[in-house]
Amino acid sequence: MAHFDGEKVQFDEPCELATNARLVVVVLPPDWERSEWSSFSASHLARAYGDNEPEYTAADVRP
């Protein structure tokens, strides 16, 4: 993991990198936003797959 200190990206743990190593950077949303999306997703999945939802088998899937 890493964080942005306002000037540079800083690794949270020491990490040896080769010169010109290619990196992939993913900017994560704030914790509160991830929490809200998780709650939203869970509530809608619960509605979509409620107790009255029939059980589907492989035979129900078209090839």
Is 36 part of a structural domain of the chain? yes
Q: What pLDDT score does 52 carry?
A: 80
Q: Name the residue range of residue 35's domain.
A: 24-50
Is 34 part of a structural domain of the chain? yes
Q: What pLDDT score does 32 carry?
A: 84
Is 31 part of a structural domain of the chain? yes
Is 58 part of a structural domain of the chain? no
Is 5 part of a structural domain of the chain? no
Domain count for the chain, please give it: 1
Q: What pLDDT score does 10 carry?
A: 93
Sign of the dihedral defined by the CA atoms of residues 37, 42, 45, 47, in that order: negative
Is 6 part of a structural domain of the chain? no
Q: What is the DSSP-derived secondary structure letter of residue 32? A: H
- pLDDT digits over 9-57, tens only? 999 999 999 999 999 999 888 888 888 888 899 988 888 887 887 888 8
Is 40 part of a structural domain of the chain? yes
